Amino acid sequence: MSVNAQNISVDSQTYTPQQLIEDILVDSNCISNVQVTSTVGGNFGGTEQSYGYFDASGTSFPFQNGIVLSTGRLGNVPGPNTNLSDDDATNWNGDIDLEMALQESNTTNATIIEFDFTTLANQISFRYIFASEEYQDGDPNTCQYSDLFGFLIKPVGSTNYTNIALVPDTQTPVKVTTVHPEIPGGCAAENEIYFDSFNDTIAPINFNGQTAVLTATATTTPNVTYHVKLVIADEQNYRFDSAVFLEAGSFELVTDLGPNRLLATNNPVCGNETITLNAFQSGASYIWSIDGIPTTTVACTNCNTFDVTQAGTYGVEVIFSNGCISNGEIVIEYTPLPNVSNTTLFECDSNQDGLTTYNLYSASEVITNNDTSLAVVDFYTTLANAEMETNPITNASSFENTAVIQTVYAVIFSQATGCKTIAEVILDISTNTLTLQDVDACDDEIVDGFSTFNLNDIRTTLQTQVPANALITFYTTSADAFAETNSVDGNFNNTVVDSQTIFVKIVTDTNQCYAISELTLNVLFTPQLLEDESFLYCLNSFPDTITLAGGVTNDIPNNHYYQWFYNGTDTGITTPFLEANQIGTYTVIVTDPNGCSNTRDLTLVPSNEPTIDNLEFTELTTNNTATITVSGDGDYEFAIDNEFSFYQNSNTFSNLSPGFHTIYVRDKNGCGDTFVEFSILGFPQYFTPNGDTVNEVWKPIGTSRDFNANLELLIFNRYGKLLNKTTSLKGWDGTINGYNLPSEDYWYVINHPNGKQYKGHFALVR
């Protein structure tokens, strides 16, 4: 045992278990037959227990004295909180009853005191504090690990314990993991209101944290003997001890007046409601008090009930015939009923017989004054049913009234206070009508009786006929309008050819039906025109005029209006036809007297005969080619050597033999053609001057008076002797001075006027 002015002291030797329970915890003759039946604790060599007496006089600890049960050595309980209480003992087991009551497992180091008692009252209670080294300020382990304790009670002879060490107004056992503040980076707060503090190094007890003062309460039957098991145990292993402190003299008789009625716990007394408190005990008398002031100085025998009409703390002393007193207390707070409004719900009536279908929830926002903390629970057809909350309307979203004007009743619940109240909803019929003109639209590009109607534009035109901020919605059927389903909006394409009736529903900003009216959508006749066309126009064919037609194809009256444009400029022509003689785009707008029109573009595409700009060709190669370049507004094609042969799109020809060629160019659209002639130079490999008039002279291929006529031709023998000097047009006949030269190879040099020179040899064959 130790004494310290700042820290609690403990004593495990002075008091027997019977004295700890009977004289320290109970200390009352009103709780009888107190008998300790067993104790279990750690075996520390017989010099110290894991339970005993504590004295906190002169310290900051909430209790002055009492009993402490620990999962470690009792000597480790006093402060300061400067070391880890972390004890174990030989053969120190857990407790199966604790595990079953808390639905946990793997307990060890259990400290247990069990006792029996009898009472006259219907409730007993005692006060306690739970402390543990497993409270770790800022450590996520606080969110995961906790030792276990329980105050287990049962009638003697019963097999099932009830744990009364619970978080107030719950069935949650008090543990580190169920009572703690927010652990940053670990977990949210759990029942923080019942947590007292994390302890620093000057705390009067040697535990890292502790709960606030809590009360364990058990409901009892007078004169029945009960068995209590106070038990605390380590969980999983012996590390990080815990303790429970029981306040001396706090085990007392209690009269249950019911749970406190508080705003904080969402169960205050609502409005002007009267609450009747009942403290009945057989053969007892009573003294009631309000805020600590007795309502009478004399106990009365027939006043076991008390009517409460205002907020306050109400107490009762129940005085038994043997002089024992059981105290009861309840705190009652009042709150006004939810602020709601009666309202009238208007709905539209399709046949004006006074009967229609209502969505009663449409009145919710008005009833609750847009208070999101209020919710409509149910609707009822009578006030009595609403007050009793019986026989609610089951089809509130599609309720059919039974009278022209009918009242239903809404029960509204406040999520903030838990209170309920009633509002009246009068069901009435809207008789408003809208003046709606048919809406016309011209047929779409494809003339088929279907078009697009801009409902947003229609909505704008209706704004002057409806209340401010009203919602204007469109539906394709009356049933959809009343049910407010399958609405249409924006650009609407009619689904019935030529003309369709849709429905306009007006709902006010208070969610009331203002009117439902029919609206006719008409698709107007629109001229249908031929598709856009293009025409070829030969620029070289003057004068040339093309007749363009408006191109109306559907059955029409003869009173359409025509307007012609050329390249976007109005021509002033208003006839169905136009004579065109300029290239460009002609646009005709054909308009019906109803104002619907269609547009068609006719384009004159220019074409012309080709102009040859250039001709390039190669010669004296293994693959002679020729490329011709032309210009003009036409689309041209090309042929070579035969204007009636195959024409190609390419302007290049290849594999051309030496000699004379002609390239033909023509416009594909028939707007003209032209040609060009050219010669590709070549040199024969031999000639045969034998008098048969065939191949009698050697001269370059592709020569004529028009092509290559002025080439200088020099003939040499094999020894380089000049034999003849002539022209490419005349050639050489194989003689010299009138004598025939023999068959042999001869050499030539050809000089071009442009300075180019060609050399080679050929054979003379006799």
Q: Do domains 533-607 and 686-764 have the same CATH topology?
A: yes
CB 728 within 8 A of CB 750: yes
8 Å CB contact between 407 and 447: no
Which tokens hold the place of 656? 């051309």
Has residue 700 got a pLDDT over 90?
yes
pLDDT band at residue 542 using 50, 70 and 90 as cut-offs: low
Exposure string for 270-297, b = 16+ CB within 10 A, e = fewer: beeeebebebebeebbbbbbbeeeeeee
Judge whether residue 573 has pLDDT over 80. yes
What mean pLDDT comes out for the span 539-554? 82
In this structure, the strands spanning 123-132 and 209-211 are: antiparallel
Residue 646 has pLDDT above 80, yes or no: yes
pLDDT at 246 over 80: yes
Given a cut of 70, whether residue 604 has pLDDT beyond it is yes
The span from the CA of 678 to the CA of 658, in Å, is: 10
- Is residue 495 within 8 A of residue 501, CB to CB? The reply is no
Beta bridge partners of 745: 763
pLDDT, residue 536, reads 87
Fold of 533-607: Immunoglobulin-like (2.60.40)
Output the six-digit token pair for 234.
């380590």
d(CA 367, CA 3): 66
- Residue 555 has a pLDDT of 66
Q: Which of 86-100, 382-396, 632-646 has the highest mean pLDDT?
A: 382-396
Query: How many C-beta atoms surround the C-beta of residue 38 within 10 A?
Result: 10
| CB contact set of 471 (below 8 Å; sequence gap of 6+) | 506, 507, 508, 509
Mean pLDDT of 633-639: 93
**Type of residue at 524:** L
Statement: residue 5 has pLDDT above 60: no
Phi, psi angle pair for 360, to nearest 5°: -60, -30
**CA separation for the pair 74, 72 (Å, rounded):** 6
84-122: pLDDT as tens digits: 888 888 889 999 999 999 999 999 999 999 999 998 888
Three-class secondary structure of residue 99 per DSSP: helix
Distance CA 217, CA 153 (A): 10
Length of the chain: 766
Q: How far apart are CA 653 and CA 58, in angstroms?
A: 121
Q: How far is CA 302 from CA 41, 74, 258, 277, 469, in A?
A: 49, 50, 20, 13, 63
Q: Rounded distance, CA 223 to CA 712, Å?
A: 153
Question: Which H/E stretch holds residue 101?
Answer: helix 96-102
What residue type is assigned to position 480 of the chain? D
Cα angle value 254/257/260 (rounded, 5°):
110
Cβ count within 10 A of residue 629: 11
Under 8 Å between Cβ of 269 and 261 = yes
| Position 3 pLDDT exceeds 60 | no
Nearest-angstrom CA–CA distance, 74 and 12:
7
pLDDT of residue 70: 94
Query: What's the fold here for domain 439-524?
Result: Immunoglobulin-like (2.60.40)
- Give pLDDT tens digits for 115-156: 999 988 888 999 999 999 999 888 888 898 899 999 999 999
The values of phi and psi at residue 204, to 5°, are -75, -10
Q: Compute the distance between CA of residue 635 and CA of residue 669 in angstroms, rounded to an integer.
A: 7
H/E stretch holding 23 reads: none
Please tell me the predicted confidence (pLDDT) of residue 557. 60
Residues 6+ apart with CB under 8 A from 609: 540, 632, 634, 667, 671, 672, 673, 674
Q: Is the pLDDT of residue 699 over 90?
A: yes
**Could you tell me the fold of the domain covering 611-680?**
Immunoglobulin-like (2.60.40)
Phi, psi of 546 (to 5 degrees): -115, 130
pLDDT band at 431 (very low <50, low <70, confident <90, very high): confident
Q: Is 70 exceeded by the pLDDT of residue 46?
A: yes
Tell me how far apart the alpha carbons of residues 90 and 213 are, in angstroms, rounded to a whole number: 33
Give CA torsion, residues 255, 258, 264, 266, to 10 deg: 180
Distance, CA of 557 to CA of 398 (rounded, Å):
53
Instruction: Look at residues 550, 187, 212, 508 and name the one whose alpha carbon lies nearest to residue 347.
Output: 508
Residues 319-340 have a mean pLDDT of 91
Q: Is the pLDDT of residue 185 over 70?
A: yes
Q: Specify the amino acid at residue 576.
A: P
Q: 337: how many CB neighbours lie within 10 A of its CB? A: 16
Contact in structure between 425 and 363 (CB atoms under 8 Å): yes
Q: Is 743 exposed, middle or buried (0-12, 13-18, 19+ CB in 10 A)?
A: middle
pLDDT band at 189 (very low <50, low <70, confident <90, very high): very high
Cβ neighbours for 409, distance < 8 A, ≥ 6 positions apart: 379, 380, 381, 382, 383, 385, 386, 422, 423, 424, 425
Share of the chain above pLDDT 70, in %: 99
The confidence score (pLDDT) of residue 293 equals 93
pLDDT score at 761:
95
Please, are residues 17 and 26 in contact by the beta-carbon 8 Å criterion? no
- How far apart are the C-alpha atoms of 386 and 401, rounded to whole Å? 17
Q: What is the pLDDT of residue 433?
A: 83
**Arithmetic mean of pLDDT, 434-442:** 92
CATH code linked to domain 686-764:
2.60.40
pLDDT over threshold 90, residue 4? no
User: What's the per-residue H, E or C state across 347-414?
Assistant: EECCCCCCCCEECHHHHHHHHCCCCCCEEEEEEECCHHHHHHCCCCCCCHHHEECCCCCEEEEEEEEE
Please, which pLDDT band fits residue 579 given cuts at 50, 70 and 90? very high
pLDDT for the residue 483: 81
**With contact defined as beta carbons under 8 Å apart, do 311 and 278 qualify?**
no
Residue 455 is inside which H or E element, if any?
helix 455-462
**What's the Cα-to-Cα distance from 683 to each of 422, 426, 698, 756, rounded to whole Å?**
120, 117, 9, 15
Count CB-CB contacts under 10 A for residue 672. Answer: 20
Judge contact between 466 and 386, C-beta under 8 A. no
Query: Is pLDDT at 471 greater than 90 in this prediction?
Result: yes
Residue 141 has φ and ψ, to the nearest 5°, of: -60, -25
CB within 8 A of 530, min separation 6: which ones?
A: 549, 551, 553, 600
- Residue-wise pLDDT for 333-374, tens only, equals 999 999 999 999 988 887 778 888 899 998 999 999 999 999
Residue reference for tokens 């069901």? 427
Mean pLDDT of the chain: 91
Which pLDDT score is estimated for 313?
96
User: Could you give the CA distance from residue 601 to residue 399 in angstroms, rounded to a whole number?
Assistant: 60
Whether the pLDDT of residue 281 is over 60: the answer is: yes
DSSP 140-174: GGGGT---EEEEEEEETT-S--EE--B-TTSSPBP
Pairing mode, strands 420-430 and 343-348? parallel
Beta sheet of 624-631, edge-to-edge order = 611-617, 624-631, 652-656
pTM of the predicted structure, to 2 decimals: 0.53
Burial class (CB in 10 A: 0-12, 13-18, 19+), 598: buried
Contact 149, 232 (CB under 8 A): yes
Q: Do the Cβ atoms of 410 and 422 come closer than 8 Å? A: yes
700 CB neighbour count, 10 Å cutoff: 20
pLDDT band at 324 (very low <50, low <70, confident <90, very high): confident
pLDDT at residue 543, rounded to an integer: 60
Q: How far apart are CA 633 and CA 648, in angstroms?
A: 18
718 CB neighbour count, 10 Å cutoff: 10
Question: Where do the domains of the chain lie?
Answer: 9-253, 269-335, 343-430, 439-524, 533-607, 611-680, 686-764
Q: Which amino acid is at 382?
A: T
The predicted pLDDT at position 540 comes to 80
One CATH from 2.20.28, 2.60.40, 1.20.120, 3.30.70 for 343-430: 2.60.40
Whether the pLDDT of residue 445 is over 80: the answer is no
Q: Which residue has the tokens 């809207």?
A: 430
Q: Which CATH fold topology does 269-335 show?
A: Immunoglobulin-like (2.60.40)
